[in-house]
């Protein structure tokens, strides 16, 4: 479980295909605190398990994860290459402050960046929403975009508008998004449970 509050930004060091899956090596130097083999780590909103660590603490620390065929089919990792930047977040601890919202790290679908609108106090990001995500999106509700917990300002017609403050754009990868790029989307967990409950009642 995660919160969508990014702890740091890391870079993909190498990508290695393994059958139908993939091994990914990531620079984890931006993360402070303990990490161990077997720990969960959200890479741009996708929950992964650390399979290898090297480099000690701070600069030079590297981690490796394995991505399955299913993960590659649901994310943009299948087209990722060395050099791409990732939002990093370690798993939530029971004693942590609960900022953001409950994030599982289970990508529901891929959104597409439609464009930006500048505002005096930040920027509005417009996204195209897939059918797997839009039904769970409501104005003022939560959504995770490439691992970042955000609030939906406007939803409708297969699109969403999200207001971003300058700080979020500076400390995450969202500031580098350009039209046409794909992003990982995870709908609010509570919304998905409510929708499922109503579906079963109506059925």
For 85-136, the pLDDT digits (tens) are 999 999 998 888 778 898 999 999 999 999 999 988 899 999 999 999 999 9
Q: What is the pLDDT of residue 199?
A: 81
d(CA 77, CA 100): 24
pLDDT over threshold 90, residue 76: yes
92: which 2 tokens? 């939530």
pLDDT over threshold 80, residue 203: no
Q: How confident is the model at residue 145 (pLDDT cuts 50, 70, 90)?
A: very high
Model-level pTM? 0.93
Residues 25-46 have pLDDT tens digits of: 999 999 988 899 999 999 999 9
The residue with greater pLDDT, 6 or 121, is: 6
d(CA 43, CA 115): 23
d(CA 1, CA 98): 11
Q: Please provide the CATH number assigned to the domain covering 8-90.
A: 2.40.30.20
- The yes or no reply on domain 109-202 and CATH 2.40.30.20 is yes
CB 3 within 8 A of CB 98: yes
Q: What is the pLDDT of residue 95?
A: 81
Query: Where along the chain do the CATH 2.40.30.20 domains lie?
Result: 8-90, 109-202
Please report the sign of the dihedral spanned by the C-alpha atoms of residue 6, residue 12, residue 18, residue 20.
positive
Q: What is the pLDDT of residue 116?
A: 97
pLDDT over threshold 80, residue 190: yes
Q: What is the pLDDT of residue 59?
A: 83
Q: What is the pLDDT of residue 192?
A: 84
């Amino acid at each position: 479980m995660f919160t969508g509050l990014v702890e740091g930004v890391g870079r993909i060091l190498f990508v290695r295909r393994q059958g139908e899956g993939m091994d990914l090596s990531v620079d984890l130097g931006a993360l402070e605190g303990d990490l161990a083999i077997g720990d969960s780590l959200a890479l741009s909103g996708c929950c992964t398990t650390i399979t290898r660590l090297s480099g000690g603490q701070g600069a030079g620390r590297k981690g490796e994860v394995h991505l399955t065929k299913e993960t590659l089919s649901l994310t943009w990792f299948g087209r990722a290459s060395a050099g791409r930047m990732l939002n990093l977040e370690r798993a939530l601890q029971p004693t942590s402050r609960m900022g953001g919202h409950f994030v599982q790290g289970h990508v529901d679908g891929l959104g597409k960046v439609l464009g930006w609108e500048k505002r005096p106090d930040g920027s509005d990001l417009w996204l195209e929403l897939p059918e797997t995500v839009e039904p769970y999106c409501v104005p003022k509700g939560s959504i995770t975009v490439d691992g970042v917990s955000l609030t939906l300002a406007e939803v409708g017609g297969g699109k969403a508008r999200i207001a971003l403050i300058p700080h979020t754009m500076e400390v995450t990868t969202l500031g580098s998004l350009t039209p046409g790029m794909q992003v990982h989307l995870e709908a609010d967990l509570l919304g998905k449970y409510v929708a499922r409950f109503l579906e079963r009642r109506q059925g």
